[in-house]
Structure 1
Amino acid sequence: MASDRVPPPYTEVTRHGMFPAPRHDEAARFNFLANLNKSLAMTLGAGNRLAYERRVLPAFIAEHGRAPKDRFEVRRAMNRDPYHRFWSALKRNAMEMRQQNGRSLVLRQAHELAARAEALNRGKPTLELDPSVATPRYQAAVDIHCMPGSYHGELFPGDVSAGANYDCGIFATTGGALGALSDGGGQAVVRWVRENRPGWNPRRILDIGCTIGHNALPLAQAFPDAEVVAIDTAAPSLRYGHARAQAMGVLNIRFIQMNAEDLSRFPDCHFDWVQTTMFLHELSGKALPRIIGEAARVLAPDGLMLHIEQPAYTDAMPVFEQFLRDWDAFNNNEPFWSAMHALDLPAIMDRAGLPKERQFIARVKAVVDRSIFPEAPTGDGEDHGRAAVWDAYGAWKPAAAARQAA
């Protein structure tokens, strides 16, 4: 039984048929890192606000005769404060340690995992890999989340280590807040849909930027008669994700290697539901509107578009909170995080043919077994940018859009 401040032990993580087997010390390191991350968010994280209010803000006002005007001025001022520098260094090192522990765990069994994936994937039409799909420059330029090789790194033909590293280590990053299968985000979306459109049975669902399918499999499980298509540009992640789905017995989902900037293989109005989960912040300023435009084109009349993200930066959000939410952009290899959260996403969706009167913003929280996994932190204890609580930017496509497209 986990308390509200202590993550569950790594023994509670579900070890499905593709999950890499941890040794005692590897599991212990993940336990340490899960607790360190939670402490950084809920205990030590609160010191940033104290440092700002008691030292940084008064000094800034004394020097400039005014308060900081934006998150960038707050960041430059806070980066000179010793407490914030200490906290930030701990946070960065925690992520690097998480990645290295997962990587070493996976690499010692990389060929075994690849063979297991090959056995599960062989001859299955539900996995489509395309070597001609290039990794976009905006994703290849950095190791996202400090993950060596990012999601696309491939050490040998058939390698699945990138997907396996992501799967086994997300527990430590989130402190267990996404549940035993790290699918609390997908479960949250299913709950939201059932509450807001009871009885709806979509025929085709498209999940863009699926990585290994954490958030797509719950949709396939909840709607077993639907065809779920999960796309990504990263072959190693797709290999692992498809094998993971096969091992879990989720068979109504297809994994396809594809760049969502071009969905031309799908006709207009093909999907009843198109979604992304914590993916838009991985996109460049040019790619994001193209992907939303293509997603809107393939969405059926009265269909659902849903983008799960952290809250947008608006005038209503204090500049100090914006600064905290920006941490990953400058310290965790998330180069588009800051710019994306300052975009007018409703306006982009409107230009794609999803008018503002058909749009909505909802609040969703990870759905997990609360007898084991803790409630997502909120308020001053929130790990800004990583908490298992999201804003859902959505729209129901108007029926008239089909006539206009024709």
Structure 2
Amino acid sequence: MKQDVPPPYTAVARHAVFPAPRHDEAARYNFLTGLNKYLSGTIGAGNKLAYDTRVLPAFRAEHGRDPRDRFEIRHAMNRDPWHRFWSACKRNSMEMRQQNGRSITLRQIDELAGKVRQFNEGRDTLELDPAVKVPRYQDAVDIHCMPGCYHGEERPGDMSAGANYDSGLFATTGGGLGALSDGGGQALVEWIRKERPGWAPKRILDLGCTVGHNIVPLALAFPEAEVIAIDTAAPVLRYGHARAQALGATNLRFIQMDAEHMGRFADGHFDWVQTTMYLHELSGKALPAIIREGVRVLAPGGLMFHLEQPQYTDDMPLYEQFIRDWDAFNNNEPFWSAMHAMDLKQIMADAGLPLDCQFVTGVRAVVDRDIFPQAPSGEQEDHGRAAVWNAYGAWKPKA
């Protein structure tokens, strides 16, 4: 007997390869969606209150000074009962999200695998290369608490990691990225149309694409363009390609490739090279190398664009740096803290994009207000997954 799926998970767009939840599975996602909103808003605000009224006064009394950096604040806050309670709830919400998404996916893995094959077989827009080695910085930890990370396989030719990832994005972000969890990609389209009206890039490259949710909107917006999305993880590419095909992005090619080594692409091949919430998952060695390769394959006059959370600058309060750092120590994001302390502008300059060609702009996820009338109007305390980003970009000099 068919059961109705309770809201708000009914607002998720069910494309042809999306894992179908049962009533109770959807109800669990509904609970997690509401819990994540509650933790980032009402409950999350208590962290600052605890810091101002208990933790900071106690630190001053003990040390005779204010904290010098975000790490001293973290060690002090980790002793506070409110922050410990909040952190435990957030960590458990992510673990529950992974358990639910994985359960939904594995329950119907045979059916999903058949659907994915229908969109993948016989098409030249998916290129997998078993010789591509998963970098150690990706292999050493299960990012976001996802078992096996992006590249885990239950069996040869598996795509379940991608299906799990796609299944739970709505709950993880509290619906803040829209029905297809593509609010970042929609924001890219909106930004470029305002910034360069009429500009039609011929070739676009997306680095670290996972399931392609943020590159599909660009491919659909520029149907005449050659759009390529790369990642080292075959399972998310298998699923992402089928997902893109199901959504009509037939000009989008998925290639298994390490962004540090893009030798198959000639110098200046792409008009637009971009990432969306990808740089913070790179090691301190890999990030500059990938930026250099991205600049190499970028055409003169082309655009490099990175959607990320803001860097930790001297004018960012130490408490804000601390709370933004939560994912680094509690949500399996080992490079988050170090990456956001890097001088990203100088790294881009060293790679060949002079400082006077660079810019930083704010970008907000585009969400269908008919479906999400109460979508966030501003960034809440859950900075790591908020639907508001800083964009670090540059137009490559023409000569």
User: Which residue does the alignment assign to 2:175?
Assistant: 176
Cα deviation, residue 26, structure 1: 0.3
**CA deviation vs aligned residue, 1:250-294 (integer Å, no higher than 9, x gap):** 100000000000111000000000000000000000000000000
Corresponding residue SS for 1:111: helix
How many residue pairs get aligned? The number is 393
What is the correspondence of 1:217-236 to structure 2 with a 5 Å cutoff? 217-236=216-235
Kept in 2, the 8 Å contact 1:365–1:376? The answer is: no
Q: Give the letter aligned to residue 69 of structure 1.
A: R
Corresponding residue SS for 2:134: coil
Tell me which of the two structures has the higher relative contact order, counting C-alpha pairs closer than 8 angstroms and 6 or more residues apart. Answer: 1
Cα deviation, residue 368, structure 1: 1.3
Q: Give the letter aligned to residue 254 of structure 2.
A: F
What is the correspondence of 1:16-165 to structure 2 with a 5 Å cutoff? 16-165=15-164
CA distance in 1 between partners of 2:294 and 2:249 (Å): 24
CA distance in 1 between partners of 2:90 and 2:7 (Å): 20
Cα deviation, residue 110, structure 1: 1.0
Q: Give the letter aligned to residue 248 of structure 2.
A: G
CA distance in 2 between partners of 1:135 and 1:113 (Å): 25
Kept in 2, the 8 Å contact 1:329–1:336? The answer is: yes
User: Which residue does the alignment assign to 1:204?
Assistant: 203
CA distance in 2 between partners of 1:91 and 1:278 (Å): 20
Change (3 A) 1:348 1:8: farther
Runs of 4+ in 1 over 3 A off after TM superposition: none
CA distance in 2 between partners of 1:250 and 1:229 (Å): 11
Corresponding residue SS for 1:133: coil
Kept in 1, the 8 Å contact 2:220–2:248? The answer is: no
Corresponding residue SS for 2:123: coil
**CA deviation vs aligned residue, 1:172-205 (integer Å, no higher than 9, x gap):** 0000000010000000011111100111000000
Q: Give the letter aligned to residue 388 of structure 1.
A: A
Q: Percent identity?
A: 73
Kept in 2, the 8 Å contact 1:71–1:322? The answer is: yes
User: Which residue does the alignment assign to 1:403?
Assistant: none
Corresponding residue SS for 1:376: coil
User: Which residue does the alignment assign to 2:192?
Assistant: 193
User: Which residue does the alignment assign to 1:339?
Assistant: 338
CA distance in 2 between partners of 1:270 and 1:344 (Å): 27
Change (3 A) 1:205 1:8: farther
User: Which residue does the alignment assign to 1:285?
Assistant: 284
User: Which residue does the alignment assign to 2:375?
Assistant: 375
**CA deviation vs aligned residue, 1:280-335 (integer Å, no higher than 9, x gap):** 00000000000000000000010000000000001111000000000000000000
Cα deviation, residue 158, structure 1: 1.8
CA distance in 1 between partners of 2:375 and 2:259 (Å): 33
User: Which residue does the alignment assign to 2:3?
Assistant: none
CA distance in 1 between partners of 2:196 and 2:240 (Å): 28
Structure 2: state its 5+ residue gaps: 1-5
What is the alpha-carbon root mean square deviation over aligned residues?
Answer: 1.0
Kept in 2, the 8 Å contact 1:118–1:158? The answer is: no
Cα deviation, residue 372, structure 1: 1.7
Corresponding residue SS for 1:50: helix
Kept in 1, the 8 Å contact 2:45–2:381? The answer is: no
Cα deviation, residue 8, structure 1: 6.2
Kept in 2, the 8 Å contact 1:278–1:309? The answer is: yes
User: Which residue does the alignment assign to 2:294?
Assistant: 295
Q: Say yes or no: does 1:264 pair with 2:298.
A: no
Kept in 1, the 8 Å contact 2:323–2:381? The answer is: no
Corresponding residue SS for 1:303: strand
TM-score by length of 2: 0.97
User: Which residue does the alignment assign to 2:272?
Assistant: 273
CA distance in 1 between partners of 2:63 and 2:360 (Å): 37
User: Which residue does the alignment assign to 1:214?
Assistant: 213
Corresponding residue SS for 2:384: coil
CA distance in 1 between partners of 2:267 and 2:305 (Å): 18
Cα deviation, residue 378, structure 1: 2.6
Cα deviation, residue 337, structure 1: 0.2
CA distance in 1 between partners of 2:192 and 2:72 (Å): 40
Kept in 2, the 8 Å contact 1:212–1:238? The answer is: yes
CA distance in 1 between partners of 2:263 and 2:319 (Å): 42
Kept in 1, the 8 Å contact 2:229–2:254? The answer is: yes
Corresponding residue SS for 1:47: helix
Cα deviation, residue 371, structure 1: 2.2
Cα deviation, residue 377, structure 1: 5.2
Cα deviation, residue 247, structure 1: 1.2
CA distance in 2 between partners of 1:338 and 1:79 (Å): 17
Kept in 1, the 8 Å contact 2:175–2:375? The answer is: no
Q: Say yes or no: does 1:326 pair with 2:292.
A: no
Kept in 2, the 8 Å contact 1:377–1:387? The answer is: no
CA distance in 2 between partners of 1:312 and 1:370 (Å): 29
CA distance in 1 between partners of 2:7 and 2:216 (Å): 23
Q: Give the letter aligned to residue 378 of structure 1.
A: G
CA distance in 1 between partners of 2:245 and 2:384 (Å): 31
CA distance in 2 between partners of 1:376 and 1:236 (Å): 32
User: Which residue does the alignment assign to 1:404?
Assistant: none
User: Which residue does the alignment assign to 1:4?
Assistant: none
CA distance in 2 between partners of 1:315 and 1:165 (Å): 38
Corresponding residue SS for 1:385: helix
